[in-house]
Amino acid sequence: MSTAQPSAQGAARGAVGSRLMAGPAYEAGYERIEDHERRLRKRPTGGAWLIDVIARSGLRGRGGAWFPTARKWSAAAAGSQGNAVVVINGSEGEPLSAKDKLLLSLRPHLVLDGAALAAESIGATDIILYISRDPRGADKALARALAERRRTGAQEPAITVVRTAHRYIAGESSAVANRASGGQSKPKFSVQRTAEKGVDDRPTLVQNAETLAHVATIARYGSDWFRKLGTEHSPGSTLLTLCGNVKHPGVYEIDLGSPLGAVLDAIGGPASPPPGALIGGYFGMWVPANLIPGLPLDPERLRAERGGSLGCGVVALLPQGACGIVESSRILAYLAAETSGQCGPCVNGLAALSDTMDRIAASNPQSGDAQRVTRWIGMVRGRGACHHPDGAVGQLASALQAFDEHLASHLAGRRCRGVDVPGFPQPPQPGAGWR
Amino acid sequence: MSQKVERRLRVNPILCDGYGYCAEIVPELIALDDWGFPIVSAASIEADDILAHARRAVGTCPRLALLLDESTARPT
């Protein structure tokens, strides 16, 4: 199966909720500014009022961390003397995720409205649109959208496009600030947060593209409307990329209050009974088959009940015959290669873990490998300048837990047929360069 | 009530090259991992003699990667 592609299924089936993706069907493609403004009306003007409305809406960032958006805006606004920067983070480094590319391709004006609203609300003079060099990217749609806004005389700060090599961690906020300041898209170690000292040392709001699109709807319809979907602590809808063993892979807009089973039912279900699933992407959490139907997607409950996160909204179902241990070690190998090479524990620890997991996945372990893996998972966690090592070992640790019985068979040297099954869309070749 | 200053060692893992001097100077607060990089205790430093060693470790690091974080904690 190929990498999850934007698909018409979400809109056609009206999976569970349709807000960001309301309007023309996916196959109608790009929505022009005239159609966008006729459908939604012109956006209001941002300001302190909007930070209050967002706070009441309970919106959390859709880039992966689910941080309360209003708190992030307040921090940037507090530091801004009218000189802040808003960065639209559309870099989408997660190989299994397609939602930001889809959103920027089909509804660019929703995202750009959200960025303009953010700039007005926090006191920013510049907007940076940060995207990866990606052949499947939204470059064409964005160039067209920016030209339309100039032509129609949109009252908003200048929007500059900054590109990065497609790297897993290029979207981490300090890496974004680094790249947008003219450097490499590698994370930085800083005592100050990006909100205080980011692009060119100015107060900077780095916000995921989808989050800004939600802002554009909340500014128009209000916080009560936003809360009609989702749960008390995780309100609203979200874009989910469903891939792997599903009949109709693609990007769907779902109600955050729905359990995974209901979402799968609404989109046509798995292609065959999945032996497990990866939730949240390569930094995510593995769940065994029996937990899939009832799994909450609401990030609050997911953390409380399963200790995991929805991350950037990826749900990948394992194909039949595929092995979670093998798949997890393939992802680990990719993440080890995607280190920015700056921090000793990440560079050495992920490489050592990956070598060991390769042996375990091949059912060819050396004596002590299981103990080494446990020891190194604990040793690496929390020791990088960014969360790359934490995400990588978290994914691994959850696989070892979700598939513990099967792991014992690998450790006992019993051959696993999963090594011959392609599993998920394969991790891409690690990127080259950091600009 | 007076405000209490909390002091902790922190390492900048990007600058650190794993020379390991810090773990020799203040093993009470720093251990080395399997690759020779420092694992720094997150505990607030209380004893004066340990604090003196911690300051010496900060001054000795050839990469200037070790910091002494001083923050004023609100009295609880």
* B21-76: pLDDT as tens digits: 999 999 999 999 999 999 999 999 999 999 999 999 999 999 999 999 998 765 54
The DSSP call for residue A14 is T
Residue A74 CA to residue A77 CA, distance in Å, equals 5
Residue-wise DSSP of A352-382 = HHHHHHHHHHTT-PPTTHHHHHHHHHHHHTT
A434 interfaces chain B, CB cutoff of 8 Å: no
The residue of chain B nearest to residue A187, with distances taken between CA atoms, is B14
| CB within 8 Å: A343 and B15 | no
Cβ contact A188–B14 (<8 Å): yes
Residue A344 and residue B12: Cβ atoms within 8 Å? no
Q: Do B18 and A352 touch (CB under 8 A)?
A: no
Distance from C-alpha of A357 to C-alpha of A324, rounded to nearest angstrom: 12
Task: Please report, as a single letter, which amino acid is at residue A228.
Answer: K
Largest CA distance in chain A: 68
pLDDT of residue A218: 98
Which residues of chain A carry a pLDDT beneath 50?
1-15
Chain B contact for A377 (CB, 8 A cutoff): no
Closest Cα in chain B to A376: B34
- Whole-model pTM: value is 0.94
How many Cα atoms sit within 13 Å of A170 on the Cβ side? 30
User: How confident is the model at residue A251, as a pLDDT?
Assistant: 95
Residues of B in Cβ contact (< 8 Å) with A344: 13, 16-18, 35-37
Write down the pLDDT at residue B73: 61
Task: For chains A and B, count residue pairs whose Cβ atoms are closer than 8 Å.
Answer: 44
C-alpha distances in Å from residue A136, one per residue of A2, A87, A399: 13, 21, 30
Handedness of CA A411, A416, A420, A423 (dihedral sign): negative
Question: CA distances (Å), A118 to each of A105, A180, A254, in order?
Answer: 21, 18, 24
Kindly report the nearest CA distance between residue B61 and chain A, in angstroms.
16
The reported pLDDT for the residue numbered A6 is 38
Strand partners, B68: B9
Does B17 contact A344 at a Cβ distance shorter than 8 Å?
yes
Q: Does A351 touch chain B (CB under 8 A)?
A: no
ipTM for the predicted complex: 0.93
A189 at the B interface (CB within 8 A)? yes
Q: At what angle do helices A209-221 and A33-40 cross, to 10 degrees?
A: 40
Q: Is A342 on the interface with B (CB under 8 A)?
A: yes
pLDDT at A424: 86
- Picking from A189, A344, A385, the nearest residue to B35 by CB comes out as A344
* Backbone torsions φ then ψ of A255, nearest 5 degrees: -80, 125
Which among A344, A375, A379 has the least Cβ separation from residue B13?
A344
**Rounded to a whole number, what is the distance in Å from the CA of A85 to chain B's nearest CA?**
26
Does the pLDDT value for residue B2 go beyond 80? no
Q: How far apart are CA A200 and CA A85, in angstroms?
A: 9
Indicate yes or no: CB of A342 within 8 angstroms of CB of B14: yes
From residue A274, give the alpha-carbon distance in Å to each of A132, A160, A264, A325.
32, 44, 12, 14
Residue B1 confidence (pLDDT): 53
Going edge to edge, which strands form the sheet with A159-164? A159-164, A124-132, A84-90, A204-208
A375-405 per-residue burial string, b: 16 or more CB within 10 A, e: under 16: ebbebbbebbbbbbbbbbbbbbbbbbebbee
b/e map of A78-87 (b: 16 or more CB within 10 Å)? ebbeeebbbb
- Contact list, A376 vs chain B (CB under 8 Å): 34
Full 3-state SS string of chain B? CCCEEEEEEEECCCCCCCCCHHHHHCCCCEEECCCCCEEECCCCCCCHHHHHHHHHHHHHCCCCCEEEEEEEECCC
